[in-house]
Amino acid sequence: MPLHHLHLPDEAATTALGAALAGALAPGLTIYLHGDLGAGKTALTRALLHAAGYPGRVKSPTYTLAEPYTVQLAERMVTVIHFDLYRMSSPEEFLEAGFREHFNENSVCIVEWPEKGDPVLPLPDIHIYLTVTGHGRDVELRALSDKGHQCLARLKFLPNL
Ligand SMILES: Nc1ncnc2c1ncn2[C@@H]1O[C@H](COP(=O)(O)OP(=O)(O)OP(=O)(O)O)[C@@H](O)[C@H]1O
Ligand SMILES: [Mg+2]
C-alpha cells in the first residue's frame, strides 16, 4: 500500500497540497483529517475548495458542524461537505442532523475531528494526518479503499515540497 509522507514547510505548501487534492478528488470520497488544534486541517480544506473554484470565504464550521459547498470536480457539479465535529456532544446529534445522508456517491465529505463522530460517522476512503513540526507541518496520506487508492494515485504534488 503506497503511503504518502510529505513535509509542508509553510502555509503555501499546505495550499499547494489542497490544490493537488482538489485535482484528484472524485465524488463519493470521504476523507478524515487528523491533527491537533491549529495543525492545518481547515487551511488544507480551504485551499482545496478555492482550488476547486469556490470563490467565497471558507470558515471553520465550528458551530454548524457541517458546511456544504458546490464545486465542479472533473466536469461534474459536486457537493463538498466540510465537517468539524469538535463541538459535537453526542452521536445522536450527528444522526438527528441527518449528516449520514451526506455520505453518498454524489458528494465528497471532509471531516475534522472524526473521532468525535465515533461510532456513527461513516468510514473514510483516505486518512490525512497533520503534525506540527517546528515551523512547518508533516503530513501523511493513507488510503483505505480502492476509491481512496485511486485518488492518491492521481495526486500530482510538486516534488520540491
Ligand atoms: N505548512 C504550514 N506551515 C506552517 N503553518 C501552517 C502550515 N499550514 C497551515 N499553517 C498555519 O497553521 C494554522 C492552521 O490553522 P487551522 O485552523 O487550519 O487548523 P485546524 O487543524 O483546522 O485546527 P482546529 O482543530 O482548531 O480546527 C493557520 O494559522 C495556518 O496559517
Ligand atoms: Mg479546523
Q: Phi, psi at residue 151, to the nearest 5°?
A: -65, -50
Name 95's Cβ contacts closer than 8 Å, sequence gap at least 6.
120
Tell me whether the omega of the peptide bond preceding residue 68 falls within 30 degrees of 0, making it cis: no
Task: Ligand 1, residue 43: give the atom nearest the CA.
Answer: 18
73 in Cβ contact with 27 (< 8 Å):
yes
pLDDT one-digit tens code per residue, 100-155:
999 999 999 999 999 999 999 999 999 999 999 999 999 999 999 999 999 999 99
10 in Cβ contact with 137 (< 8 Å):
no
Centroid of ligand 2 to alpha carbon of 149 (angstroms): 25
Residue 117 DSSP SS3 = helix
**Rounded Cα distance, 52 and 30, in Å:** 16
Is residue 1's pLDDT more than 60?
no
The alpha-helical segments, DSSP class H, found in the chain are 11-24, 41-51, 91-96, 146-154
71 in Cβ contact with 77 (< 8 Å):
yes
113 in Cβ contact with 37 (< 8 Å):
no
Centroid of ligand 2 to alpha carbon of 158 (angstroms): 24
pLDDT one-digit tens code per residue, 61-104:
988 999 999 999 878 999 999 999 999 999 999 999 999 999 99
Task: Ligand 1, residue 136: give the atom nearest the CA.
Answer: 3
Ligand nearest the Cα of residue 38 is 1
29 in Cβ contact with 127 (< 8 Å):
no
Query: Nearest-CA neighbor of 92 among 61, 115, 116, 120?
Result: 120
Centroid of ligand 2 to alpha carbon of 92 (angstroms): 22
pLDDT interval class at 50 (50, 70, 90)? very high
Mutate to test the pocket of ligand 1, among 6, 7, 14, 115 (most ligand atoms within 8 A of CB): 14
Centroid of ligand 1 to alpha carbon of 154 (angstroms): 25
pLDDT interval class at 42 (50, 70, 90)? very high
- Cell for 104? 453518498
